[in-house]
Structure 1
Amino acid sequence: MSIAEERVDQLADLAREAARSGESDLAKRYVRRARRVAERNRIDLPERLKRFSCTRCDAYFVPGRTARVRTKSGHVVVTCACGEHARYPYDPEREG
């Protein structure tokens, strides 16, 4: 694991903790910094950061607080407070 990958992982953990403690501005800063480190070093973001952060405003999703989560016809739809939607496939038979 490279130094950049370790840093992105650390920033993702910090963003999650900041969002859970209610510091959404700090969480946004951590998400922006993680995206920037990943872009500059040509690495992929971890799956948890891709799925739990908004691509428009960089908010870290906390269901019920900064995001709304719904399931619709085989997809999970996450709606950010800014109005951005993210859809992910979901197969209930496979997950069970």
Structure 2
Amino acid sequence: MSGIAAERIDRLASLAAAAARDGEDERAREYVRLARRIAERNRLRLPRELVRFTCDDCDAYLIPGRNARTRLRDGHVVTTCDCGNQARHPYR
């Protein structure tokens, strides 16, 4: 079962990215919500791409420069969504 769910999550992640690039923010948001629901139901981790490029508060697919600000700090990347939510991810 988890193989099918993982494939569906990957497909929804690519659809969300494409919708966000085309300016269809609400459609991208729905794809992200659906992918998160499937991952929770099947106890799967979200792909790193989906974790790094989605807002935890408003489920927006983040595109730096359009609806997100990305800054480098000491040892981590800070991504700020238009809604004000910040996400920090380490880097080397």
So what's the TM-score if we normalise by structure 2? 0.95
What amino acid sits opposite 1:29 in the alignment? E
Identity of aligned residues (%): 59
SS of structure 1 residue aligned to 2:5: helix
The ranges of structure 1 where at least 4 consecutive aligned residues each deviate by more than 6 angstroms after the TM superposition are: none
1:94 matched to which residue of 2?
A: none
Aligned partner of 1:72 in structure 2 is 73
Equivalence for 2:90? 89
Which residue of structure 1 lines up, in the alignment, with residue 12 of structure 2? 11
Tell me the CA shift for residue 75 of structure 1: 1.1
The equivalent of 2:25 in structure 1 is 24
Give the secondary structure class of the aligned counterpart of 1:70. Answer: strand
Per-residue Cα deviation, 1:11-52 (whole angstroms, up to 9, x for no partner): 000000000111111100000000000000111100100010
Find the counterpart in structure 2 of residue 48 from structure 1.
49
Give TM-score, length-normalised by structure 1.
0.92
Query: Does the residue aligned with 1:17 lie in a helix, a strand or coil?
Result: helix
- Alignment: residue pair count: 91
Please report how far the alpha carbon of residue 74 of structure 1 lies from its aligned counterpart in structure 2 after TM superposition.
1.6
CA distance in 2, matches of 1:36, 1:14: 16
CA root-mean-square deviation: 0.9
Question: Aligned partners of 1:44 and 1:74: how far apart in 2?
Answer: 24
Q: CA-to-partner distance for each residue in 1:58-91, whole Å, 9 max, x for gaps?
A: 0000001110000011211000011000001122
Residue type at the aligned position of 1:70: R
- The one-letter amino acid paired with 1:88 is H
Residue type of the alignment partner of 1:60? Y
